Amino acid sequence: MEREVRVRFAPSPTGPLHIGGVRTALYNFLLAKKTGGKMILRIEDTDQNRFVPGAEDYIRESLAWCGIELDESPWNGGPYAPYRQSERKPMYMQYAMQLIESGHAYYAFDTAEELDEMRERLKAAKVATPQYNAITRMTMKNSLTLPEDEVKKRLDSGEPYVIRLKVPRKEEVRLKDLIRGWVMVHSSAIDDKVLMKSDGMPTYHLANIVDDHLMKITHVIRGEEWLPSAPLHVLLYRYLGWEDTMPEFAHLPLLLKPDGNGKLSKRDGDKLGFPVFPLRWTDPFSGEISSGYREAGYIPEAFINFLAFLGWNPGTQQEIFSMEELANEFTIERIGKSGTRFDIQKARWFNEQYLRAKPDAELAGYLLKALEEHNMTCSPEKAEKIAGLMKERVSFPQEFWREAAYFFVAPTEYSEKVASKKWNGQAVAVFTDFRNELSTLSDFNADAVKDLLVSILERHGMKIGMVMQALRLAVTGAEAGPDLMQIIEVIGREETENRIDAAISALSQYVTA
């Protein structure tokens, strides 16, 4: 009988959640959702020296904003609680002791100075990668080189020690990765990693394996940076007797800088002007503020859709997917092996598509909120009309106010470029008649306004294209925008008359005799 799919996202609370981490969480969530499995979040906080206040809350809020739902977590609980490794501390030592008793781990009493001396000796001997391994361990101070009674004496006296994995000297370690296929590493390339630190806390390697086993994790989907550690983890599963239930591994490709050269970092985002974090982050120590996608105006569904395509593709031409559709289509097999270039313009494009697909009534909410901030009021009906006119011209919700301000505030400045080319005596004559005859319209709507303008132009022997840009300038102050007749309908008869009067007065210097 197949096991229930159980995946986990296991971030460390050492700062804000990078966009690459969000993608990892997303792919885990999509697999769980597709298979009817469970999505677990575990906080890996064994390194207390790197703990950053507020980071855990940030992780929680980020995933909630993205719509990544958790079945088990430190906040929801679950059958395998606790879900913070620091709270699971008492359980790890028994597994480290099991490894010692089976001969797969050992005590090491080396001081920091002795470890430095070892590395310097190896460097002097031109060893490419100085490490504590099957060869060098025999020159160090550990339970493999010290007499048994001395080891006992040191332990009984409370002397600081670590527990290291005893990696075999000559063995090929094989791992089948769901994305990369078979990965083979010779054990000589693996060092004797510390499993338990001198403070009694496990390292990532031991805690990760123990927790994944106890929480019955079936798939480990994580970043490419963990691929070098995977053979070590295979050894741990084997030595602990859990190889038969070992999860399947999938190591995701890197998110690359826009130019493709190297891993995407916060510095790249700062330099190129885009966020690398889902939400704004304020560093609790320095006070430095880092931008976030939420605050930049990205819709969470658009952000997730964009993120899903950074490494995965559905194999079709379809690009717009709801979370439900992503889950239905998602397969690990369609994740690429190569790093993916980060393209902020594509993220912007996704946001535009999602904005345009929203009902005008929902978009009106963005505008009404901005009006409130500017101490202005507007009926929901009017806001809805304006949102409908502007949605093809904006990329972010906050742009509704910036692009549509002229609906509420008459222009006081006019483009000199347009005025010098399009504002002339003929245009003013047409606009004067147009302004005076607007009052004759019994039904003031875009079609009626346009019919009136066309009839006046026919009297003057002119075509509509000869005056439209100048009329737009008078009414909005802008060079371009949505349908001008629709704009006039929204701002109303009296306001249109006033704006034409103001423009004729303000631009008189452009009218030649």
- Residues taking part in catalysis: 266
Q: Could you identify the residue written with the tokens 């996202």?
A: 9
Measured on CA atoms in the order 412, 418, 421, 425, is the torsion positive or negative? negative
User: Which of 219, 195, 229, 25 is closest to 108 using CA atoms?
Assistant: 195
Q: Could you identify the residue written with the tokens 């004496």?
A: 153
Q: Are 264 and 341 in contact (CB under 8 A)?
A: no
Q: Taking phi first (over 0 means left), then psi (-120 to 50 degrees means alpha), and beta for anything else, what does residue 453 get?
A: alpha
Q: Are 212 and 8 in contact (CB under 8 A)?
A: yes
Strands (E), 80-224: 105-108, 162-165, 172-177, 181-186, 194-196, 219-223
Q: Which helix (H) or strand (E) holds 7?
A: strand 6-9
d(CA 112, CA 100): 22
d(CA 381, CA 368): 11
- Residue 415 tokens, joined: 């483009």
Residues 6+ apart with CB under 8 A from 123: 130
Burial 176-208 (b: 16+ CB within 10 A, else e): ebbbbeebebebeebbbbbbbbeeebbbbbbbb
Kindly state the DSSP code that residue 77 receives in the 8-state scheme: B
Kindly state the DSSP code that residue 247 receives in the 8-state scheme: P
- Residue 373 tokens, joined: 């901030």
Peptide bond into 202 cis (omega under 30): no
Query: How far does CA 115 lie from the centroid of its chain?
Result: 39
Q: Could you identify the residue written with the tokens 């550990």?
A: 142
d(CA 488, CA 484): 6
**Could you tell me which residues are beta bridge partners of residue 282?**
289
**Residue 266 assigned to a binding site:** yes
Q: Are 305 and 354 in contact (CB under 8 A)?
A: yes
Type of residue numbered 161: Y
Q: Could you identify the residue written with the tokens 């792919």?
A: 27
Numbered residues of the known binding site for ATP:
266
